[in-house]
């Protein structure tokens, strides 16, 4: 959606102006700290750390380069997409790329956790850091293939906008009218015009030339498509593909892998109970292992659950937009408020993973506190750490690189 499409509801404007800096601060801080913690030498490189580091980087990119755009639009009326044609293309592409890439990475780490649970003795061969790097690069290339066409199809150009009539016309050069069909797209994009016929456009230019019914005509910049064939592909095929890769495929993976993880942990719990009866000397260590395995499961399910909860409202709004948003008048103030809120949820999704890791992961929380100068060195803590290391080498090959 281009910034020229916004109507300027006061409440929606305040949501963007106040909410954006808060999410920006939390997201930048959290994702940077997450990458620092995961890249520490004490955290042995693993498939989990690779996926989560890539996810933190993708989230940071969204917070740094996507969120500030709308904050500036509503605060000072400036759209970064209007700086240059290259910025228009890259910002448009980056928005879609990071949406699908972040979902792919979360799905990948979910599959990895399911494999670690279902096939714990195959983890060393399947879930390695090198394989995770290859998968992360492959997912990035896949996202580029899906959304790369926007680097060609989207462009920055000027149109004429009549403030009094609320209508959009072709670029001012009337010689381009025979080949340039951008006005056919703007009628649905700006929610201002209702007709898309050649007679409508000829009539519009006639009124412009005679200044009839047009008292305030301005040039405005638009970052959008002007090829109707590409516009049809973007509006129908690409949008469907984006929704599928951003929500539906990850959702199916979350559900299937969640069932696998829960079943695997139940089976592992039964096995560990029998081990306690035979090897009572590691009973306390096994309990510690159970707690840490539960932490991993809880964190992963929490992240996946919040992903669905935060992304679903925006998905529902976009799917049903044609049904409840009037094409002639555009969004009402209430709909603008709803649109602002669902967007805040989308951006918040990229900012709060650090909080989830911190609250549910003992080891992650301990390293964060140490990073900021708080250390709790005691013989008890060192003993617990030593026992946990022994347990990992004896009882299982679970990857606990994030939350030991």
pLDDT in tens, 65-77: 999 999 999 999 8
Interatomic CA distance for residues 336 and 64, integer angstroms: 24
HSE value, Cβ hemisphere, 13 Å, CA-based, for 267: 11
With a threshold of 0.85, does the pTM exceed it?
no
DSSP calls for 24-49: HHHHHHHHHHHHHHHTSTTS---HHH
> SS3 of 72, please?
helix
Q: How far apart are CA 208 and CA 47, in angstroms?
A: 62
What is the Cα–Cα distance from 85 to 157, expressed in whole angstroms?
8
State the distance between the two ends of the chain, measured CA to CA, in whole angstroms. Answer: 43
Higher pLDDT, 334 or 290: 334
Residue 116 has pLDDT above 60, yes or no: yes
Q: Is 156 helix (H, G, I), strand (E, B) or coil?
A: strand
Higher pLDDT, 34 or 119: 34
pLDDT tier for residue 399 given thresholds of 50, 70 and 90? very low
Residue 9, pLDDT score: 79
Query: What pLDDT score does 280 carry?
Result: 52
Locate CATH 1.20.1070.10 in the chain.
Answer: 3-83+92-147+292-395
SS3 state of residue 402: coil
Ranges 138-152, 227-241, 377-391: which has the least confidence: 377-391
Tell me the average pLDDT across 311-318. 85
pLDDT surpasses 70 at 287: no
Q: In what order do the strands lie in the sheet with 155-162?
A: 167-168, 155-162, 217-224
Q: Mean of the pLDDT values across residues 325-339?
A: 84
Residue 182 half-sphere exposure toward CB, CA atoms < 13 A? 26
Q: What CATH class is the domain 3-83+92-147+292-395?
A: mainly alpha
351 DSSP 8-state letter: T
The enclosing H or E element of 254 equals helix 249-278
């Amino acid at each position: 959606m281009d910034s020229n499409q916004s109507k300027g509801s006061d409440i929606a404007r305040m949501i963007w102006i106040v909410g954006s800096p808060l999410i920006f601060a939390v997201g930048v801080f959290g994702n940077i700290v997450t990458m620092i913690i995961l890249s520490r030498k004490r955290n042995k490189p693993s498939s989990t750390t690779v996926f989560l580091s890539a996810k933190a980087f993708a989230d940071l990119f969204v917070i740094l380069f996507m969120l500030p755009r709308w904050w500036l639009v509503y605060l000072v009326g400036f759209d970064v997409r209007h700086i240059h044609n290259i910025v228009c293309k890259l910002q448009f592409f980056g928005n879609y790329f990071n949406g699908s890439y972040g979902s792919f990475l979360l799905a990948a780490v979910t599959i990895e956790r399911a494999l670690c649970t279902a096939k714990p003795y195959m983890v060393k061969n399947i879930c390695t850091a090198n394989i995770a790097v290859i998968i992360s690069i492959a997912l990035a290339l896949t996202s580029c293939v899906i959304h790369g066409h926007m680097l060609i199809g989207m462009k920055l150009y000027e149109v004429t906008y009549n403030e009094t009539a609320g209508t959009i016309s072709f670029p001012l050069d009337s010689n381009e009218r025979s080949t340039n069909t951008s006005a056919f797209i703007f009628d649905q994009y700006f929610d201002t015009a209702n007709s898309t016929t050649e007679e409508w456009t000829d009539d519009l230019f006639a009124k412009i030339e005679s200044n009839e019914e047009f008292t305030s005509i301005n040039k405005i910049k638009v970052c959008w498509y002007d090829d109707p064939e590409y516009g049809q592909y973007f509006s129908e095929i690409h949008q469907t593909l984006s929704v599928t890769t951003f929500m539906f495929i990850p959702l199916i993976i979350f559900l299937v892998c969640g069932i696998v993880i829960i079943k695997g942990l139940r089976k592992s719990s039964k096995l560990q109970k029998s081990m306690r009866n035979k090897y009572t000397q590691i009973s306390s260590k096994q309990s510690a292992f159970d707690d840490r395995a539960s932490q991993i499961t809880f964190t992963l399910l929490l992240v996946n659950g919040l992903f669905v909860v935060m992304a679903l409202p925006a998905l529902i709004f976009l799917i049903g937009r044609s049904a409840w948003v009037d094409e002639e008048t555009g969004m009402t103030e209430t709909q603008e408020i709803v649109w602002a809120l669902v967007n805040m949820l989308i951006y918040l999704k990229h900012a709060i993973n650090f909080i989830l890791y911190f609250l549910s992961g003992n080891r992650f929380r301990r390293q964060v506190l140490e990073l900021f100068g708080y250390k709790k060195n005691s013989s008890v803590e060192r003993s617990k750490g030593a026992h946990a290391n022994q347990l990992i080498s004896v009882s299982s090959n679970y990857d606990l690189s994030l939350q030991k």
